[in-house]
A and B are shown apart, each in its own frame.
Chain A
Amino acid sequence: MIEVNGLGKKFGELKVLNDVSLNVERGDVFGIVGHSGAGKSTLLRCLNGLEGYSEGSVRVMGQEVCELDPKGLKELRKEMGMIFQNFNLMNRKNVYENIMFPLEVWGVPKKEAEERVKELLELVGLTEKKNEKVRNLSGGQKQRIGIARALALKPKILLCDEATSALDPKTTISILDLLMDINVKLGVTIIVVTHQMEVVKMVCNKVVILDGGRVVASGDADNLFLAPGEELRKLITDDYAVIPSGTNIRLMFPREIANESIITRMARELDIDFSVVGGRIERYRDTVMGFLIINVSDAELEKVIVWLKDNGMFWEVMKNAE
């Protein structure tokens, strides 16, 4: 649905995107993650032509974005809704008028437009607030209006630029649930730009990691989290102090074995003791995954590793020094 190949973009002398390639398929929830200034927003803005580019190619639904004339670009944007960190709603319009605006811009007949707004208000659960001034709403409610507005023209793709970064954790989850609903029920392909790993874990099926304008890792979200490389590790910060003696092993639990009592089985079968340093079970897109950090004495390390290999576990030895 979206193919980006060798994309390069400069602001003056500053090279913001460098040889970026990615491939988004219909129905994906595609994550673009990276630190502040990595070029995530710029990449996203290249997709709907808000930003031009000098190198490479961006093809959205078969069209090269930078070759579109103004009319073609408008048509493309009609197919691509966008939501923002700061919501970017019009303060002088009320909830209803904000959602109505894209429909007015496109000259949708009044009757039809009113129907559409009603549907959208229901979808985002703000029907009672329709005459409210935008300024009187909470952040989460504002983002819901942002989402409704972005969906007004029935786009096939929804671009989200840090859509939950200004929200508290609970509200973030409710917005992410809404996005998932939109993805699953309406079949909208979603691109999520964020620096919050939690967001990626909860909704994305594919991820690219951007650093300094380059893609440093990409793949299915599950795999990236089960076997995180250097780059991902930089973004996931565990706040567990590891035990300095012995060896700390991080075990990753994919969906199939997350619920099994694998650890106690290992202890029983090997007849060893180990201590638990820390761990977490997390809710992912449509599954539960977790990790557990255990500390094994050097004498038993070999045995444990062999057992882990035999049982097809995902694991890694953690570096102690730090």
Chain B
Amino acid sequence: MNRISAVFESAKGPILNVYATAGFPHLGDTMTVLEALQEGGADIIEIGMPYSDPVADGETIQQSNQVSLDQGMTVAHLFEQLKDLRVKVQVPVLLMGYINPVLQFGVERFCQKCQEVGVDGLILPDLPMAEYESEYQEIFERYGLYNIFLITPQTADERIRRIDSVSQGFIYMVSSASTTGAKTGISSEQELYFERINQMNLKNPRLIGFGISDRESFLKASASASGAIIGSAFVKLLAHSSHLREDIVTFVRGIKGLK
């Protein structure tokens, strides 16, 4: 079974998915960050593949992408860094990024590499569903990769149902109409939206992302979904950390309410 499905089946509390930009704060930090996230208790890890033009991302993630690229990160180098991923990390790992670097690497070759190093799924926000179904689905599935789709407060019910039928693993529920890191906290209007989707009885579980930054917003979001995703708040911590491992473990434990 794909590790992502296994996590949702066995989870006791809300699931915490943390996003970290690869090669950030320093090019060689990728594996250190992943191991510390696992040690702290993250249930799923999303590794951001840096891109020069990340239109769905706000300033914090944009800048981390640029820093990583300036330090020499490439798709090929990332796979090199993840060579021993499954010796050290057991939690599910997703790669999140934009479609162009994947196209240039070669879609099939990319998926093959993902399977080789033990990546469980992909989040490619600018790969639309129709395109995925006609050109990519067969290849992704051949290499055991889940493709994670996004929904937003503006996504029509009918489209949510279609996305649900194509999805595997979970649906990434964007908490508000925004880029990443634009807002923090959860309003009562957002809670209504979370609950509305919760009532749809979708086949896939949902994780809520965008604007989740601390234990309070994590719990609020998890009340109407299986868990939540923290991105910009964690990247900010990485940018300012002087003791990477300790800081990450403390941060993750704090969100999960572990001692």
- Say whether A and B bind each other: no
